[in-house]
Amino acid sequence: MKITGAQAIIKALEKENVNVIFGYPGAAICPFYNALYDSKITHILTRHEQGAAHAASGFSRATGKTGVCVATSGPGATNLITGIATAYMDSIPMVAITGQVSTELIGKDVFQEADITGATAPFCKNNYLVKDVKSLPRIIKEAFILAGSGRPGPVLIDVPVDVQNREFNFEYPETVDIRGYKPNYKGHPVQIKKIAEAVKKEKAPVICAGGGVVNSKATSELVKFAETCNIPVVTTLMGIGSMPCDHELNLGMLGSHGVYTANYAVHNADLVIIMGARVGDRAMGTASKIAERAEIIHIDIDPAEIGKNIAATIPVVGDVKMILDELLPIVQKGDVDKWTQTIKKIKAEHPLKYTFKEDSEFIKPQYFLKTLSEMAGENSIITTEVGQNQIWAANHYKINKPGTFISSGGMGTMGYGLPSAVGVKVGRPECRVITIAGDGSFQMSMQELGTIKQNKLGVKIVIFNNSRLGMVREIQKQRYCGRYSQVILNENPDFVKLADAYGFKGEHINKNSQVRDAIARMLEDDQPYILNCFVDPEEPTL
Amino acid sequence: MKGDVAMAKHLLSVLVENHAGVLSRVSGLFSRRGFNIDSLAVGVTENPDISRMTIVVDGDEYVVEQVSKQLNKLIDVIKLKKLDRSESLSRELALIKVKATATTRAEIIQIVEIFRAKIVDVSKSTLTIEISGGTDKVAALEDMLKQFGIKEIVRTGTIAIERGNRIIKPNKNEEE
Ligand SMILES: Cc1ncc(C[n+]2csc(CCOP(=O)(O)OP(=O)(O)O)c2C)c(N)n1
Ligand SMILES: [Mg+2]
């Protein structure tokens, strides 16, 4: 039976077990939306295409499935770009489908034409402009394979409107062979043996766990490895949740905004075992110094990450979980107890500390987050915005499960928190979803309150309101002699009135003594809520 | 001839899918990551679905390794091999239009013969010479012709192939 290209996309999505997509229509994608009308796939209409991409990303990170977003040609497609780039930097599986002007008009600069495959090439694992409807099934299959396998990432499919309308005999392939793509999952046995030898020999090892550990679902293997060999673990921002935060071997996040002990461990180790992390500058800005004193084991599924930012003495290409599975039976604890004792001592001497008064003028975000994580419990998923709010959350909210801390790491995209929370709540309605926002970032995506309202999504919104672009202000304070240039947001709206405009409950607080009761009220039900916390503009990030 | 080991020109032979957009993906990758391309030559292979690119990269070992790994990440890149200069043949083709007068014409023709190059076009005031060979040979001829006044040079960029029975195939390196 012949069906149209648009119907074929829907059928292919159904074959890929996609039941939710996020998007925004327009003329060039109308045939798709027309076919969607007859489908069981749930479509979440966001208020901006960037929100659709971020929501697909949040959905993916909370469910482990590939997120799907859809937009029209031209401005719809270009609005997706920040979301696609954000997903690319954090290796999030995503398929983006865009409408395009009719094939015969491509290149003529017609209304709403944009070269979206050209524009997104740097941020996509691969992308396609579909010129022949007959290639559509293969391309969609390839897109899902590429997005979700190896090192995951976004793939974009640009479908001209005439291709969406063309009829053809649809047949969806079970699988396809992509000859230029052969990800390697199994680590080389010789290299794995070398890891075991190094672990046995060195006296001051540390594990650095990144987002790859979360992606490969290797938490229990990581914990077992660390415990068996008594090796402390530090995480990157993307690695938060890869090891329970309350595990005594977990030292917390490393890097320029990280925890003292985590950085101490990495800079004093004689063996650094990097797993599923790309040694980004925010985490390991001093990579060459670290490599000078320590042996470096680098495990990553992407061979191009190995040797890029740090020279590895033992490079291992493969999936972290599969490699740990091979390693665990042969690994033996080394002579490390003295080192681990030292680390324990340093951890005790340098706790994440802050002082606060109950009867304050401002909320202490660190105290708020600690309290929130105690009260919200294990069944909660946190998303964050970017800025001081993100770092406070990374360091002070106690994350114990992988996939429950969702934040833009590599790109640091303001406006990610709220739409990603939309995706999380859609994907995991049984979970409590809380987004930790800054007043600046929140205003970059606050139109998504409409999406939350329309879809009855019980997203809890905490705004750390310092009426500032706090993190940039802090840079200006420290490095630009306090010349505060364009970082003051004195005319913020009343966020509780804004909540009210959407029919949500909300509350302002500014005293630490209010924190517990306010959180309790926020968490009382599964309705959207805005808790606006006034925070001292002078409050430091660390 | 082997160049300086640290900063050298490296030869990469790359099999890619023969479809629109591949060249821009490859060149985009070079500019995005700050790699220097010395030359890039592309043409279809014995299999019409596949093109071969010969890329000459300027850089140290770290750069070549990064270039290779990043190229391999492109889905359109099917196979990549770094060619050992002593184990491969490389050629480029150049067309050189040089000023020629009644007095210089004979001397130019003599130089062309020494280089085993060819005169492919003549006019009252110019000679157009075709030369193929290694980069050094082309450069040497160019150098010799400078004195007469070079009006225009067009070069293909280097192409290269392995010596002997080795071939680079999509799935594996084969010997036949
Ligand atoms: C899209 C985008 N634009 C600009 C920046 C640069 N930037 C990083 S943090 C920050 C301030 C964020 O302000 P706010 O959301 O209020 O967070 P705070 O630091 O005050 O907690 C800015 C502007 C960014 N990360 N993303
Ligand atoms: Mg702020």
Q: Is the CB of A153 under 6 A from ligand 1?
A: no
Structure tokens at A227: 């415990």
Q: How far is B159 from chain A (nearest CA, A)?
A: 22
**Could you give the C-alpha distances from B83 to A40, A88, B163, B172, in angstroms and in order?**
54, 32, 10, 15
CB atoms within 10 A of CB A343: 23
Q: Is the CB of A250 under 6 A from ligand 1?
A: no
CB within 8 Å: A307 and B171: no
Indicate which CATH number applies to the domain containing B56: 3.30.70.260
Segment A181-231, tens digit of pLDDT: 999 999 999 999 999 999 999 999 999 999 999 999 999 999 999 999 999
Q: Dump the DSSP string for A264-290.
A: HHHHH-SEEEEES----TTT-TTHHHH
B167: three-class secondary structure by DSSP:
strand
Residue A357 confidence class, pLDDT cut points 50, 70, 90: confident
CB within 8 Å: A307 and B170: no
Structure tokens at B2: 């082997």
Q: Dump the DSSP string for B23-85.
A: HHHHHHHHHHTTPEEEEEEEEE-SSTTEEEEEEEEEE-HHHHHHHHHHHHHSTTEEEEEEEPG
Q: Is the CB of A385 under 6 A from ligand 1?
A: yes
Average pLDDT, chain A: 97
Structure tokens at A101: 């002007």
CB within 8 Å: A121 and B28: yes
Q: How far is A181 from chain B (nearest CA, A)?
A: 6
| DSSP 8-class letter at B19 | S
Which of B37, B63, B83 delimits the end of a domain? B83
Q: Among A469, A476, A422, which Cα is nearest to A443's?
A: A469
Which of B22, B52, B83 delimits the end of a domain? B83
Residue B175 bridge partners (DSSP): B166
Give the Cα-Cα-Cα angle B48, B50, B53 (nearest 5 degrees).
125
pTM, whole model, 2 decimals? 0.95
Q: Among B82, B70, B59, which Cα is nearest to B6's?
A: B59
A190 CA distance to ligand 2 middle (Å): 50
Task: Give the number of A-B residue pairs with CB atoms closer than 8 Å.
Answer: 42
Query: What pLDDT score was predicted for residue B145?
Result: 97
Residue B76 confidence class, pLDDT cut points 50, 70, 90: very high
Residue B171 confidence class, pLDDT cut points 50, 70, 90: confident
Q: Is the CB of A463 under 6 A from ligand 1?
A: no
A439 CA distance to ligand 2 middle (Å): 5
Query: Closest-lying ligand to the alpha carbon of A384?
Result: 1
**Could you give the C-alpha distances from B136 to A48, A134, A478, B39, B140, in angstroms and in order?**
57, 49, 55, 14, 6
In this structure, the strands spanning B88-99 and B126-133 are antiparallel
A189-349 has CATH 3.40.50.1220 classification:
yes
A121 touches chain B (CB under 8 A): yes
Which letter, b or e, does each residue of A60-97 get, where b requires 16 or more Cβ atoms within 10 Å of its Cβ? Answer: bbbbebbbbbbbbbbebbbbbbbbbbbbbbbbbbbbbb
Together in a domain, B97 and B61 = no
Segment A412-440, tens digit of pLDDT: 999 999 999 999 999 999 999 999 999 99
**Domain membership of residue B95 as a residue range:** 90-159
Together in a domain, B23 and B50 = yes
A465 CA distance to ligand 1 middle (Å): 12
CB within 8 Å: B32 and A146: no
| Residue closest by Cα to atom 4 of ligand 1 | A414
A445 CA distance to ligand 2 middle (Å): 14
Q: Among A188, A183, A278, A304, which Cα is nearest to B65's?
A: A304
The number of folded domains in chain B is 2
**Could you give the C-alpha distances from A430 to A87, A88, A416, A426, A539, in angstroms and in order?**
24, 28, 22, 9, 35
Residue B2 confidence class, pLDDT cut points 50, 70, 90: very low
Segment B111-122, tens digit of pLDDT: 999 999 999 999
Q: Among A541, A433, A449, which Cα is nearest to A493's?
A: A449
Q: Please, which residues have CB within 8 angstroms of residue B84's CB and are 6 or more apart in sequence? A: none
Together in a domain, B40 and B71 = yes
Q: How far is CA A53 from the centre of its chain?
A: 12
Q: Which CATH architecture has domain A2-169?
A: 3-Layer(aba) Sandwich (3.40)
Q: Is the CB of A272 under 6 A from ligand 1?
A: no
Q: Is residue B144 domain-resident?
A: yes
CB within 8 Å: A122 and B32: yes
**Could you give the C-alpha distances from A236 to A32, A257, A275, A288, B83, in angstroms and in order?**
40, 10, 10, 17, 38
User: Domain coordinates of chain A in residue numbers?
Assistant: 2-169, 189-349, 365-534
Together in a domain, B65 and B48 = yes
pLDDT > 70: percent of chain A? 100
Structure tokens at A57: 């990303």
Query: What pLDDT score was predicted for residue A225?
Result: 98
Query: What pLDDT score was predicted for residue B8?
Result: 83
CB within 8 Å: B75 and A122: no
Element (H, E) at A57: helix A49-63
A117 touches chain B (CB under 8 A): yes
Q: Is residue B164 domain-resident?
A: no
Q: Is residue B2 domain-resident?
A: no
Q: Is residue B13 domain-resident?
A: yes
Query: What pLDDT score was predicted for residue B7?
Result: 67
Indicate which CATH number applies to the domain containing B128: 3.30.70.1150
Q: How far is B56 from chain A (nearest CA, A)?
A: 20
Segment A490-519, tens digit of pLDDT: 999 999 999 999 999 999 999 999 999 999
Segment A249-273, tens digit of pLDDT: 999 999 999 999 999 999 999 999 9
Query: What pLDDT score was predicted for residue B172?
Result: 61
pLDDT > 90: percent of chain B? 89
Which letter, b or e, does each residue of A234-261 get, where b requires 16 or more Cβ atoms within 10 Å of its Cβ? Answer: bbbbbbbbbbbbeeebbbbbbbebbbbb
- The CATH class that applies to domain A365-534 reads alpha beta
CA A33 to CA B101: how far, in whole Å?
A: 72
Q: Among A217, A210, A216, which Cα is nearest to A283's?
A: A210
CA A52 to CA A44: how far, in whole Å?
A: 8
Mean pLDDT of A163-185: 96
Q: Is residue B176 domain-resident?
A: no
Q: How far is A115 from chain B (nearest CA, A)?
A: 11
Structure tokens at A193: 């043996």
Looking at beta carbons, which residues of chain B come within 8 Å of A302?
A: 73
pLDDT > 70: percent of chain B? 93
Residue B57 bridge partners (DSSP): B10, B37
Mean pLDDT of A278-285: 90
Together in a domain, B16 and B78 = yes
Radius of gyration of chain B (CA): 19
3-state helix/strand/coil string of A77-122: HHHHHHHHHHHHHCCCCEEEEEEECCHHHCCCCCCCCCCHHHHHHH
A241 CA distance to ligand 1 middle (Å): 23
Task: List residues of B whose CB lies inside 8 A of any A CB.
Answer: 16-17, 20-21, 24-25, 28, 32, 62, 65-66, 69-70, 72-78, 170-171
